[in-house]
Amino acid sequence: MSLQTKLPKVGTTIFTVMSQLAAEHGAVNLGQGFPDFDVPRRLVDELEHAMRQGHNQYAPATGVAPLRQAIAAKARRCYGAEIDADAGITVTSGATEALFNAIHAVARPGDEVIVLDPAYDSYEPAIELAGARAVHVALDPRSFAVDWDRVQAAITPRTRLLMINSPHNPSGAMFGEADMRRLIDILDGTDIVLISDEVYEHIVFDGRRHESVLRWPQLARRAFVVSSFGKTYHCTGWKVGYAIAPPELGAEFRKIHQYNVFCTFAPAQHAFAAMIRDEPEHDERLGAFYQAKRDRFREQLLGTRLKPLPVPGGYFQLVDYSAVSDLPDHEFVRWLTVEHGVAAIPLSPFYENPPPEQRLARLCFAKNEATLDAAIERLVKL
């Protein structure tokens, strides 16, 4: 049978490729971004309790009421935002589903969607499936700061969406107040919708403040704000996230959601509701928890030939490997995995046009100390 692919540029994701390669060669997997330590015990207990209480059937499409109410309360506590728990919040099967729904709720054939490179690899396929076109604007190749003049120059009458991500994957860079004010100025007077990927919202370091779009009413009124419980509670395999949007955008989002997955794992929703309500200190302490890991890992990396870049947020460490090799990044990470037993992620799959001289790889430090120590033991031999 002859079949014309809808996604001719898409193959197996780099995360799957590198995790498979790591397994084949017994490498320490610092590639795919998942923790290898336990979820909070209270969360497991609440999940078991929810199942034993009978919360095992379809949840409401928008999410169970206690969780939506808890998310609204958290948005108020963290960002001073007043969100309608009924009309403004939709629980999804992970942040990736929320991003897909948001794109398809708004983008139409012929529309343009601005993405900031390097960008998470799920963005562009969702844009293409909507019949729209991704317009790539490169971040600074070293600091990963946004050149807002370039963003403004990329806007055309066909621009329908702008996608932002802070803390940023893969770099860990974060927006500051000046970024948000410039973004407000750029979007003022346009009908451009904003998608803000904030899955690492609580993993911020050195006293920095996460500039959620929810803090800025001028942006929030035109935005989908997406987050993930998997990142916050160390349970990426549960695949539960959510989107916050004004009611008119949320209504369109829910049309896509109900015919995509309809609803999300019910007992986990009740467990997250209890955690947010009763243990808010978990997300309040998350930055300090990961900062200790970042600092320890960075100190260890200074004893290798890899140069660690600054990491303001998130749980990924970029390293400059130019002192070790001049291989392109996809060849370097394969060599590192096969020959030296440490799996990393190259940056080039996050770009439309990777900087040709860039020699950076991404390492995940959301790991036990024993895992990171094992990786360092191998990396010092480079």
Same domain, 305 and 259: no
Same domain, 331 and 256: no
Share of the chain above pLDDT 90, in %: 93
Q: Is the pLDDT of residue 149 over 80?
A: yes
Q: Is residue 1 part of a domain?
A: no
Q: Is residue 8 part of a domain?
A: no
Q: What is the mean pLDDT of the chain?
A: 96
Could you tell me the CA-to-CA distances from 38 to 238, 261, 366 in Å, in that order? Answer: 13, 27, 11
When comparing pLDDT for 14 and 108, which is higher? Answer: 108
The one-character DSSP state at 6 is S
User: Whole-angstrom Cα distance, residue 162 to residue 40?
Assistant: 35
The number of distinct structural domains making up the chain is 2
User: Whole-angstrom Cα distance, residue 291 to residue 301?
Assistant: 15
Domain that holds residue 276: 41-280
The pLDDT of residue 3: 77
Across residues 123-142, what is the average pLDDT? 97
> Closest Cα partner for 42 from 214, 217, 277?
277
Q: Is residue 209 part of a domain?
A: yes
Could you tell me the pTM of the whole model? 0.96
The pLDDT of residue 265: 97
Same domain, 169 and 187: yes
Residue 94, token pair as written in the block: 């992970």
90-109, pLDDT tens digit by residue?
Answer: 999 999 999 999 999 999 99
Same domain, 97 and 215: yes
What dihedral angle (degrees, nearest 10) is formed by the CA atoms of 36, 41, 42, 47?
70
Per-residue burial over 263-292, b = 16 or more CB atoms within 10 Å of its CB, e = otherwise: bbbbbbbbbbbbbbeeeeebbeebbeebbe
Q: Is residue 309 part of a domain?
A: yes
Q: Is the pLDDT of residue 82 over 80?
A: yes
When comparing pLDDT for 41 and 9, which is higher? Answer: 41
> Closest Cα partner for 280 from 50, 40, 77?
77
The pLDDT of residue 326: 96
Same domain, 316 and 262: no
Across residues 230-245, what is the average pLDDT? 97
Same domain, 272 and 288: no
- Coil, helix or strand at residue 68: helix
- Coil, helix or strand at residue 250: helix
Same domain, 273 and 368: no
Q: Is the pLDDT of residue 213 over 90?
A: yes
Please report, for the domain that includes residue 21, its CATH number. 3.90.1150.10
Per-residue burial over 6-37, b = 16 or more CB atoms within 10 Å of its CB, e = otherwise: eeeeeeeebeebbbebbeeeebbbbbbbbbee
274-326, pLDDT tens digit by residue?
Answer: 999 999 999 999 999 999 999 999 999 999 999 999 999 999 999 999 999 99
Q: Is the pLDDT of residue 182 over 80?
A: yes
Same domain, 150 and 191: yes
